[in-house]
Amino acid sequence: MQKLHYEFYSQPKITSGACALESIPTELASNDAHKPLVITGREHTRRRLDKSLIRAFADSGCRLGGIFDEIRDYAGIGLARQAAVLFAERGCDAIVAVGGGPVADVARAANLLVSHDTQDLFRFFNGTPQEKRLKPFILIPACCTNGNESGKTITVDNRRLTSDFLYPDVIILDKRMTAACTRRCAAQSAIIAMDNAVTAFLDTEHSPMKDAFAHAGIGFAAASLKKAIKRPKNKKHSLAMANAGVMAGIAAANATPGLVRGLAEELEKITGISRAVFIRIFTPAALPWMTRKTGPPREDLLLAAGGMSVYANTPEQQRPQKGVEILLSLLDETREQIPETLASLKLPAYQLEKACVHAGSRKDFPFSAQDCLEIIEQTQKGDRR
């Protein structure tokens, strides 16, 4: 019997297409904002993505308050404070983030500071609630993502903060901005998108909205992953993968963190290695483990990953396992860009154990440290075969 009550929240308005950038002035005006600060990274300005954004503003009458491009591969509280100071000095009234991962995290942390007129970001990490609507925030994904950009969680100086107020107001997906830097970057983004979508699918609390976003995420990824990795600068396929990342991220933001995701996030903080690498390594062991613990995944996974034709031609009792097989085959498409074994990373045992303990102690994580250790052990057994 289908539940009559469910909870699902998605703040962002999503604009996706060839000329999506040109809609930004209108989106700002609808939020009573006219002078945004652009926050981006050095890699993005080197690729002249800021120039594409400036050209989109050319005939709008809306002018940029400034460009803060000091972000590289790490989101720090100091960077958020610098961006907040520039925001105030230039009299800005909104934030536009160009990029994913650290760029999006710094932009949202800076938004917390300017919206609450403070330089103390620690107050929010230490429990002060975010009860105030933040300044208008527009996100433009570009290149690599960490899977949280379209959701409600940020990581700054390895501290996690979650709040419904941290969702972007608008997400702009434009093919001029979404091309990946490298094949490895495209592969990592695709792995994270699929893991987010599968996390939502495997969540015990189902809802039609969450399923719809997860289905779209897996569908976009399955259709474009191989081509996006082979030709990372192809605008059509990179835009499809950007859509996959946004849809899957929103679905995951409304789901309980999965076993692989939680463990991978903790290992990323400890080792500095992208969580995509750990997702790629742990998933082949984790899916059978989850099947033994909670039963096989729903057959909807096959429909999303394989399409209607494969779904219809697969006997009903075989659909859950077939969905898992297709998912694993999609992960195999990344084998030339992402390590396949835990042994290849040469991590000391204490780091693996520490990540398990940290994951098991998280309030939002429904698995124990022992569960995480079991996945690591199963993965290591698979590596030796």
Chain centroid to CA 122: how far?
Answer: 23
Above 80 in pLDDT, residue 155? yes
- Supply the pLDDT for residue 2: 54
The confidence score (pLDDT) of residue 178 equals 85
pLDDT of 134: 93
Is the model's pLDDT at 183 over the cut of 90? no
User: What's the pLDDT at 137?
Assistant: 97
**How many angstroms separate the first and last alpha carbons of the chain?**
43
pLDDT digits (tens, 9 = 90+) for 311-370: 999 999 999 899 999 999 998 999 889 988 999 999 999 999 999 999 999 988 999 999
**What is the pLDDT averaged over residues 19-34?**
91
Residue type, 279: I
| Mean pLDDT confidence for 189-213 | 89
Q: Provide CATH 3.40.50.1970 ranges for the chain.
A: 13-174
Percent of the chain with pLDDT over 90: 55
In the chain, where does the domain assigned CATH 1.20.1090.10 lie? Answer: 183-384
3-class DSSP assignment, residue 46: helix
Whether 121 contacts 109, CB under 8 Å: yes
Least Cα distance to 114 among 97, 92, 131, 96 occurs for: 92
Residues 300 and 272: their CA atoms lie apart, in Å, by: 34
Q: What is the pLDDT of residue 88?
A: 95
Going by pLDDT thresholds of 50, 70 and 90, the confidence category of residue 127 is: confident
| Packing angle of the helix pair 208-230, 183-202 (nearest 10 deg) | 160
Percent of the chain with pLDDT over 70: 98
Cβ neighbours around 126 below 10 Å, total = 9
Determine the Cα–Cα distance for residues 215 and 275; give it in Å rounded to an integer: 22
DSSP 234-284: -HHHHHHHHHHHHHHHHHHHTSPPPHHHHHHHHHHHHH---HHHHHHHHHH
pTM over 0.85: yes
The pLDDT assigned to 385 comes to: 52
Taking the domain 13-174, which CATH number applies?
Answer: 3.40.50.1970
Among 116-120, 166-170, 179-183, 227-231, the least confident range: 179-183
Of the candidate CATH numbers 3.40.630.30, 1.20.1090.10, 3.90.1170.50, 2.60.120.10, the domain formed by 183-384 belongs to: 1.20.1090.10
